């Protein structure tokens, strides 16, 4: 394990690597501190390439030791070219990072993998979280595999497809009459009373590190090169900021050279506190979510200000996508690439289109777009045409198809 301590992002107080998510002095978020000299001596391209085909191939860059089932995933998801998307938008190259290929069809399997490894280390018997959907699926699935209890708090408006994808693993679900932010407040209160492993509270310092592995994989899959830009969704802001940290860390230990990618983030218009603060050049203030993109419906994003700083430091931007375009973007992406992403992907694809329209991305750029979850979890967001009913008659079928014989 390469992490030597935890450090407060605000006041820089240091703590041992225990199950704690916030500083007792200023309540700031804690992050792992690494011995980068030791990491640089321990890591190499050759060692990584010989490792398991999962995120655990990057174990020297993570804050926990790999679990016994490290070879089973998650991570090492496909990075595929989308030439028709690139051609239609006028971008040099577009590649899709297909994180809906993870075990529970979202990138949340990555963060839960790292958090659950820490949970086992500290002897917890229950994995718990507040979730907008995908995280609950990942927590329940991982707990089932480990033989642990799982408890998930959801806003009651979460898509039924995501609820079923938690229930099937035997997870205990609690529907809250309120928003994700209400659920988050409740689990913070619970975490002070119970010794459970709350993946996005007392294990957040470890949980968030799982998102870095997306950056690691992208660079390795590009032949140990950085793309020109990455487009990602923004909810709490953690994924967006950890992408940047991941790219920075690869360069720090000498695995990749060159200019770091520009990061572009997307939010749906009905819950866009980070975008509003970005364009108005101010701190993030909470909003009441009212968006079809439920997985991004976090009105008080914990890492919102850091996401803005990340976008500016990288030379990127934050974009807002109109609500009526989210489902349409899901359909556009599917029709041009054969990839059906969830509402978050509709927002991310909308952010890509907006960045192109603003002249921020174009014909000289190689751009990676994150597909963080499957559209099969959010199918009602997409409007599709009705099928045509015919008799079981080939002549009627040929006439309908307009095919002459």
- Residue by residue, DSSP assigns 313-344 as HHT-EEEEE-HHHHHHHHHHHHHHHS--B-HH
User: Alpha carbon 120 to chain centroid distance?
Assistant: 23
Indicate if the pLDDT at residue 39 is higher than 90: yes
Sequence-ordered alpha helix ranges (H) in 197-342: 204-207, 212-221, 238-252, 273-280, 304-314, 323-337
Three-state DSSP class for residue 81: strand
Q: What is residue 19's predicted lDDT score, i.e. its pLDDT?
A: 85
- Cis amide leading into 74 (omega within 30): yes
pLDDT, mean of residues 309-322:
98
What are 178-217's pLDDT values in tens digits? 999 999 999 999 998 999 999 999 999 999 999 999 999 9
DSSP secondary structure code for residue 373 in this structure: B
Q: Domain 79-104+208-381 is in which class?
A: alpha beta
pLDDT at 352 over 70: yes
Domain boundaries, the chain: 79-104+208-381
| Res 383: pLDDT | 86
CB 378 within 8 A of CB 342: yes
Tens digit of pLDDT for each residue in 61-106? Answer: 999 999 999 999 899 999 999 999 999 999 999 999 999 999 999 9
Which stretches of 157-312 are assigned E, i.e. beta strand? 172-176, 197-198, 229-233, 262-268
**Buried b / exposed e across 115-133, counting CB within 10 Å, b at 16+?**
bbbbbbbeebebbbbbbbb
Contact in structure between 225 and 258 (CB atoms under 8 Å): yes
What value does the mean pLDDT take over residues 130-139? 95
Task: Calculate the average pLDDT of the chain.
Answer: 95
Top pLDDT among 6 and 388 is at: 6
Let me know if 101 is exposed, middle or buried by CB neighbors in 10 A (0-12, 13-18, 19+).
Answer: middle
Residues 26, 42: Cα–Cα separation, whole Å = 34
pLDDT of 171: 87
How does residue 287 score in pLDDT terms, banded at 50, 70 and 90? very high
Other Cβ atoms closer than 10 A to 388: 8
Q: Is the pTM of this model over 0.85?
A: yes
pLDDT band at 403 (very low <50, low <70, confident <90, very high): confident
CA 12 to chain centre: 26
First to last CA, the chain: 68
- State which H helix or E strand residue 151 sits in: strand 149-155
- pLDDT at residue number 1: 64
How many Å apart are CA 124 and CA 98, to the nearest integer? Answer: 31
């Amino acid at each position: 394990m390469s992490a030597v301590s935890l450090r407060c992002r605000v006041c820089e107080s240091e703590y041992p690597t225990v199950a704690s998510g916030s500083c007792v002095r200023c309540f700031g978020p804690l992050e792992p501190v690494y011995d980068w000299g030791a990491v640089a001596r321990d890591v190499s391209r050759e060692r990584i390439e010989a490792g398991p085909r999962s995120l655990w191939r990057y174990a020297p860059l993570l804050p926990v030791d790999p679990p016994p089932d490290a070879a089973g995933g998650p991570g090492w998801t496909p990075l595929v070219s989308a030439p028709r998307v690139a051609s239609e938008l006028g971008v040099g190259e577009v590649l899709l990072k297909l994180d809906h290929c993870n075990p529970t069809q979202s990138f949340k399997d990555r963060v839960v993998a790292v958090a659950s490894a820490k949970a086992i280390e500290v002897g917890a018997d229950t994995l718990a979280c507040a979730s907008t959907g995908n995280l609950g699926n990942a927590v329940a699935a991982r707990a089932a595999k480990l033989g642990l209890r799982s408890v998930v708090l959801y806003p009651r408006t979460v898509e039924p497809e995501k609820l079923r994808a938690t229930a099937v693993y035997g997870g205990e679900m609690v529907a809250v009459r309120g928003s994700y932010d209400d659920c988050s407040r409740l689990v913070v209160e619970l975490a002070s009373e119970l010794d459970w492993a709350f993946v996005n509270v007392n294990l957040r310092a470890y949980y968030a590190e799982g998102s870095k592995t997306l950056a690691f994989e992208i660079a390795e899959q590009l032949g140990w090169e950085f793309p020109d830009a990455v487009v990602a969704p923004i909810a709490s802001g953690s994924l967006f900021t950890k992408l940047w940290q991941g790219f920075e860390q690869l360069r720090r230990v000498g695995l990749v050279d060159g200019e770091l990618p520009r990061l572009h983030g997307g939010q749906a218009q009905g819950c866009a506190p980070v975008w509003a603060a970005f364009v108005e050049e101010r701190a993030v203030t909470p909003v009441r979510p009212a968006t079809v993109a439920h997985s991004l419906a976090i009105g008080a994003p914990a890492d919102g200000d850091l996401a803005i700083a990340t976008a500016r430091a990288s030379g990127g931007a934050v974009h807002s996508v109109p609500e009526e375009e989210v489902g349409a973007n899901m359909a556009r992406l599917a029709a041009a690439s054969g990839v059906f992403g969830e509402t978050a992907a509709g927002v991310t694809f909308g952010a890509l289109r907006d960045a192109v329209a603003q002249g921020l991305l174009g014909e000289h750029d190689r751009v990676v777009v994150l597909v963080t979850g499957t559209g099969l979890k959010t199918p009602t967001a997409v409007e599709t045409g009705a099928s045509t009913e015919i008799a079981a008659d080939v002549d009627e079928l040929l006439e309908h198809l307009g095919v002459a014989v």
